[in-house]
Structure 1
Amino acid sequence: MAKLGAISTLLASAAFAVSGVAAFAAEHTLIISSWAPPTHGINALMWPKFTEMVEEATDGRVTTELKLGIAPPPAQMDLVMDGAADASIIFHGYQAGRFTTSKLIELPGYEGSAEAASVAYWRAYEKYLKDAEEHRGVKLIALHTHGPAQMHTSEPVETIDAVSGLKLRIPGGVGGDVGAALGATGIQVPAPKVYETLASKAADGVVMPMESRKGFKLTEVAQNVYEMPGGLYRGSFAFIMNEDIFADLPADIQKVLEEEVFGEPLSREIGKIWDEIDQAGRAETEATEGNAINAASEADQKAFMAIAEEVRATVLEELAAAGVDAQAAYDMIKSEMAAY
């Protein structure tokens, strides 16, 4: 509970922490565009951690300024490519038709934390996924995944068969594949629109990680969680930067950012934060009257394993068609996560 208290303290001070105001005069200020609510862990914890790492690595010569609401989630990559912001976070599933290799980390069945998954993801990217060049046009500075996604509904869901026919907000990528395999009617809306979608009864529920219980106030509009061990999928995210902005930084700053911040170090820290906010979301659910977490039965777990295997086979075929050694990449992620 001490960790949760620390998280609450950080949330309360988020606006100051990511403001880019420091005791020194920075030479360069990176403009960050972010689409999540102000108090969500992305803005309250992840971007401040990024700022801290950048300032520390560059001895204060580089800092950041966070701006919210510049553009909706699906527009963030184009925003950075066009130079309207220097850096942003993207959810790959919002970019229909743009990404395939990101589906690798989204597959159900991985065992381990978001921290372990994020580190394994970056390593697999470096070895197997990089040559696909799906992030061309921007500089990729981190890859990460959220924790296992679960089903959040207004009415209780107690069996996997009850999912068929439900209207569920499901993201693109593997989340959409899993929803279709379960027989749900998928509704795609960005995460910031989830609350109003549920409040208006336009959907019966959503499939998101546990952090959303708090981050998107699901405890108020989706009081029930149907929890599958390992989750129904994991979402894939990237931190990206404008290529020209990075190229314009002094060579020594570029070097230290590449060595001490970008890539695996930042991916690890973001994944670690996601584990913390998932814990906070669970705690919020357990403390909120009228909320319940319904664990999937052994029979449902077995049924989902069969569904997950079919989804996995299809995705690995997609990756292989994109020129990726899909089985080797998948085996690497499982191995890296198991050993983490």
Structure 2
Amino acid sequence: MQLTKIMTGTALAVGLATAAQAQETLNISTWLPPNHPINVDMFGGLVEMMEEATDGAVTGELVMGLAPPPAQMDLIMDGAADLSIIFHGYQPGRFVGTKLIELPGYEGSAEAASVAYWRVFEEHLADLNEHRGVKVIALTTHGPAQVHSNQEVKTLDDLDGLKTRLPGGVATDVANELGMVGIQVPAPKVYETLDSGAADAVTMNMGERIGFKLNEVAKNVYEMPGGFYRGSFAVIMSQERFDSLPEDVQAALEENVFGEPASRMMGQAWDASDARATEATMAAEDNVIVTASEEDQARFAEIAEMVIGNVLAELEEAGVDAQAAHEMVQQEMDAAVTN
């Protein structure tokens, strides 16, 4: 098991000082590569926010290799770690409400979507109690997901029959409509899955071209403006561990860190990651980005409407006012970056 202190950039000196004074250290379980933005920027940012909000009373340490991605929620419930991040699509059937933010057709950044996600969660989704047993402290979604392949893809028709690693959730719903042949493996296995030829493509946001080295094994990007879907993540904490903190520390975290502030920070990190990776892909001589034609964009819009309708029906069946929740996401995305 590898234990790594989370600290970033100019905060190093301050972080070391506050860590020495910290009364509470939260163990943060991660399943991502060490240099992935979730570890460096999102968890790093979260630790800095917690230290600042509590005057150093709470800090965090990153713990790698405790459990595979689908087991992270159970890990927190069992008390083996204090905090983690989960990708909802890795547990089919366990989460329905979380598919709302994954739908294609939303316009806006990951920051705007993550803030909107938190607001809509509080208004429409929290009562589903899908995260029972843990405390949800942030919700986030990466930017628009595209198709990254080790072979040329120029049209929607080229996706039909393409062996593609899919993460689950709405990504799988979309892929099924496009005729893609789904292969489900956790994100840390993507590189070897593509490198071995077990899959010909993967659907991910642009930032993962750096995070998972897709620029080496998937040199072609088929880009759908607005993306094929987004991905839903929750940062979760042991309720028992939170309850063990002093009341003034709990209040400081709730007021200044957990919820919308942490969700916004993570969305900003996704956006920065996507921008870096897009720039690197465009600069690489052996990487190619093909943007879908207007005809294919129109065809995909029809497919997206079908997927949206099916997911909203799932939400209705679960007891959510699906149309109101769907409309609220876009309205809040429009407002999020100005509030």
Matched AA of 2:189: K
Superposed CA deviations along residues 9-45 of structure 1, whole A, max 9, x for unmatched, are: x998699799877464100000000111000100111
Larger displacement relative to structure 2 (324-333 or 22-31) = 22-31
Matched AA of 1:35: W
**Shift in CA distance, 161/19, structure 1 to aligned 2, threshold 3 Å:** farther
Quick one: distance in 1 between partners of 2:7 and 2:170? 30
Q: Deviation at 1:70?
A: 1.2
Quick one: distance in 1 between partners of 2:200 and 2:94? 28
The corresponding residue for 2:264 is 268
Matched, 1:169 2:144: no
Quick one: distance in 1 between partners of 2:320 and 2:12? 43
Matched AA of 1:306: E
Q: Deviation at 1:339?
A: 2.8
TM-score by length of structure 1 reads: 0.94
1:57–1:260 Cα contact (<8 Å) kept: yes
What is the root-mean-square deviation in Å for CA atoms of aligned residues?
A: 1.9
Query: Secondary structure of the residue that 1:104 maps to in structure 2?
Result: helix
Superposed CA deviations along residues 191-239 of structure 1, whole A, max 9, x for unmatched, are: 1000000000000100000001100000000000000000000000000
**Shift in CA distance, 173/20, structure 1 to aligned 2, threshold 3 Å:** farther
The corresponding residue for 1:236 is 232
Q: Deviation at 1:287?
A: 2.0
Superposed CA deviations along residues 54-77 of structure 1, whole A, max 9, x for unmatched, are: 000000011001111111111110
The corresponding residue for 1:59 is 55
2:301 to 301, 305, 308: 305
2:41 to 45, 53, 64: 45
Query: Secondary structure of the residue that 1:102 maps to in structure 2?
Result: helix
Quick one: distance in 2 between partners of 1:18 and 1:198? 41
Quick one: distance in 2 between partners of 1:157 and 1:18? 48
Quick one: distance in 2 between partners of 1:238 and 1:276? 19
Quick one: distance in 2 between partners of 1:197 and 1:20? 39
1:193 to 170, 177, 189: 189
Matched AA of 2:240: D
The corresponding residue for 2:87 is 91
**Shift in CA distance, 104/23, structure 1 to aligned 2, threshold 3 Å:** closer
2:18–2:51 Cα contact (<8 Å) kept: no
1:11–1:39 Cα contact (<8 Å) kept: no
Structure 1 runs (4+) deviating above 3 angstroms are 10-24
Quick one: distance in 2 between partners of 1:147 and 1:98? 23
TM-score by length of structure 2 reads: 0.94
Q: Deviation at 1:83?
A: 0.4
Quick one: distance in 1 between partners of 2:266 and 2:254? 16
Identity of aligned residues (%): 62
Superposed CA deviations along residues 164-184 of structure 1, whole A, max 9, x for unmatched, are: 001000111000000101000
Matched, 1:141 2:137: yes
Query: Secondary structure of the residue that 1:304 maps to in structure 2?
Result: helix
Matched, 1:109 2:105: yes
Quick one: distance in 1 between partners of 2:153 and 2:246? 55
The corresponding residue for 1:279 is 275
The corresponding residue for 2:3 is none
Quick one: distance in 2 between partners of 1:15 and 1:171? 34
**Shift in CA distance, 96/60, structure 1 to aligned 2, threshold 3 Å:** same
The corresponding residue for 1:7 is none
Larger displacement relative to structure 2 (105-114 or 20-29) = 20-29
Matched, 1:131 2:127: yes
Matched, 1:73 2:69: yes
1:117–1:337 Cα contact (<8 Å) kept: yes
Matched AA of 2:241: I
Matched AA of 1:216: F
Quick one: distance in 2 between partners of 1:330 and 1:212? 27
The corresponding residue for 2:207 is 211
The corresponding residue for 1:317 is 313
Q: How does 1:250-265 map to 2 (within 5 A)?
A: 250-265=246-261
1:14–1:43 Cα contact (<8 Å) kept: no
Quick one: distance in 2 between partners of 1:98 and 1:283? 37
Quick one: distance in 1 between partners of 2:157 and 2:181? 14
1:20–1:64 Cα contact (<8 Å) kept: no
1:40–1:215 Cα contact (<8 Å) kept: yes
Query: Secondary structure of the residue that 2:62 maps to in structure 1?
Result: strand
Query: Secondary structure of the residue that 2:143 maps to in structure 1?
Result: coil
Quick one: distance in 1 between partners of 2:14 and 2:35? 12
2:105–2:226 Cα contact (<8 Å) kept: yes
Query: Secondary structure of the residue that 2:59 maps to in structure 1?
Result: strand
